[in-house]
Structure 1
Amino acid sequence: MLSEKYLYSTGNILSLNELKKKAGLNSRDELIEALKITLEDSKGEGDGSNINNSVEINSDNIDRKEMKITVKVFLSNTDSKFLKEAIDQVCEVLKTNTIESLIIVINKHNDIDDILRLLESLWTVLEEYYKMKKLTSIGVSDIDTEKFIQLFKWAKVKPNIIQINLATCCVVPPMLQEFTKQNDIQLLTHSDPSPILTEESLIKYFGIDAELNWVARYQIHLRCRGVLSSKGYLVRINKST
């Protein structure tokens, strides 16, 4: 059975008036609302197979060094080629050669027997981009302390960020606190639901034959002003034909 690639980019959601009226959404609901607007705006413009709303990251002629781009990639398909694709697509949409901070998270609803081996496979991709100076800081989200320590010891380029979800882990594990402190690792918390896009929503907006490969969320902060200037999502799916 053949399949077609579909890429959807929301553009800068901070400029969407419809979303401004719905403050306080979690990231899943925010993504869904942004997709609704994107899909509605694309009606009548072909099949929508490449809705690629590029983002002007430097409309105020600010030095690129004064910007910090952070990206979180939510992987549903754990083939390493999709991680590469996600990084490349974010760079293309933002017209940048460098991402200051990138974090990966694996959909926990996947049936994964050997999470460490999978992480190592994905980590080699991040190391490759790091060595090319396309990534400055790399990390992972939502893995247990033991697996994170094993990944850290194995990696040539060490993870310097780990995110944990306080909704599922009310207290930061003491062992993780100590390890991150000793190794100068940023220990961050987040509240992203898992999965970021449910099967129900995928079918509702893209059809029963849609397969989600990844979602990437980017944020652009202006260091000189301490403000968030841009935020958006990219969604990559396959559809059977």
Structure 2
Amino acid sequence: MPAQQVPHKLSLPDLQQLVLYTGNLMRTSLASRTKELNKQPNAELVHAVDDTLRLLMDSPGAPSYRYYTEHGLLEVPDLRQSSRIPAEDRNDVQVTAKLFYLSENTQHVYPPIHVDAAVNHLQKLLGVSTIDTFLVSFAGDHSLKNTCQAWSALETYQQQGVIGRLGVSDFSAQNIDEILTNKSIKVKPSINQINVGSCCDMPKETIEHAKRNGIELLHNSDSADILSTEELSKLLSSRAVVPKTTTVTPRWVIKYHVFVQCRSVVADKGYIVMGDAL
């Protein structure tokens, strides 16, 4: 599907969908502000989106938007063009990703199409065919009846070799057991990422349950609702991407890291945001 190039500084077409790539935040001033940004769970994402829009709209000679007429899709590409992993370097890095389903949009229904879109967009951005570790965060009800379709989509990617390890975020022991005991699910989560807030210790029962089932526990400070409609709409309108009367609802966000294995350092981290205009 060909994209129409939209020249810099011209009036933008009305969008029905938006996909925005922040690009490599390690190449920006945000990389040196980690402690400050960690004070608010989604501060890094909000600042990254705003910085990406600023770069697009204010920098002379910045790459244009791409607009896909068929779906009314406005794409903000990786403006820094620094995220593609050379094929010869792929075995030297680990790619991890975390997909956030946002509760205000899903009403506790998690469409598997969002998994497909997130995987495809990340492959496109990084220039890779595989993702070493993939986590999923469901903002809202974690019961299997609501998450099974999304998990089934992830399971298919794992069985195809596209995804290595699969994990979940903030699952209770009961939620984990629902997956472990369900015979129709072939790929079980090997990671559970827990938000412990201001506390440094995980509950003892959580640790014991993970040990019994061979699940790795990781800390995180992410907000499950990592981006709200109000935040995204305000960011876009403040940079004149959409009129102030336009509401853009985020459907999902993916957060990714690229680690250099031999040095255990982060070479790339960033976000992809997908939203719909109302």
TM-score normalized by the length of structure 2? 0.76
Measured after TM superposition, the shift of residue 135 of structure 1 is: 0.3
Q: Does residue 141 of the first structure (1) align with residue 160 of the second (2)?
A: no
User: Which ranges of structure 1 fall in alignment gaps of 5 or more residues?
Assistant: none
User: Which ranges of structure 2 fall in alignment gaps of 5 or more residues?
Assistant: 1-13, 59-63, 68-73, 238-245
Q: Does residue 39 of the first structure (1) align with residue 56 of the second (2)?
A: no
Q: What is the aligned counterpart of 1:75 among 95, 101, 106?
A: 101
> 1:219 & 1:189 partners in 2: Cα distance?
15
> Which residue is equivalent to 1:4?
16
> 1:198 & 1:192 partners in 2: Cα distance?
14
- Match of 2:223, SS state, is coil
> 1:63 & 1:234 partners in 2: Cα distance?
22
Q: What is the aligned counterpart of 1:215 among 239, 242, 253?
A: 253
- Match of 1:63, SS state, is helix
Q: What is the aligned counterpart of 2:267 among 213, 220, 229?
A: 229
Aligned-residue Cα RMSD (Å) equals 2.4
Instruction: Return 75-84 or 7-16, whichever deviates more.
Output: 75-84
> 2:15 & 2:145 partners in 1: Cα distance?
28
Give % identity.
Answer: 27
Which 4+ stretches in 1 moved above 4 angstroms?
168-171
> 1:164 & 1:123 partners in 2: Cα distance?
18
> 1:152 & 1:89 partners in 2: Cα distance?
29
> 1:225 & 1:47 partners in 2: Cα distance?
36
Cα offsets for 1:26-74 (capped at 9, x unmatched): 2511111111111112227357720121544446x86322210000111
Measured after TM superposition, the shift of residue 195 of structure 1 is: 1.3
Distance of aligned partners of 1:200 and 1:178 in 2 relative to their CA distance in 1, 3 Å threshold: same
- Match of 2:276, SS state, is strand
Q: Does residue 14 of the first structure (1) align with residue 26 of the second (2)?
A: yes
Measured after TM superposition, the shift of residue 170 of structure 1 is: 6.6
> 1:55 & 1:136 partners in 2: Cα distance?
24
> Which residue is equivalent to 1:125?
153
Q: Does residue 173 of the first structure (1) align with residue 203 of the second (2)?
A: yes
Q: How many residues align?
A: 233
Aligned-partner residue type, residue 72 of structure 1: K
- Match of 2:269, SS state, is strand
> 2:136 & 2:170 partners in 1: Cα distance?
9
Q: What is the aligned counterpart of 2:89 among 46, 60, 63?
A: 63
Measured after TM superposition, the shift of residue 21 of structure 1 is: 4.8
TM-score normalized by the length of structure 1? 0.87
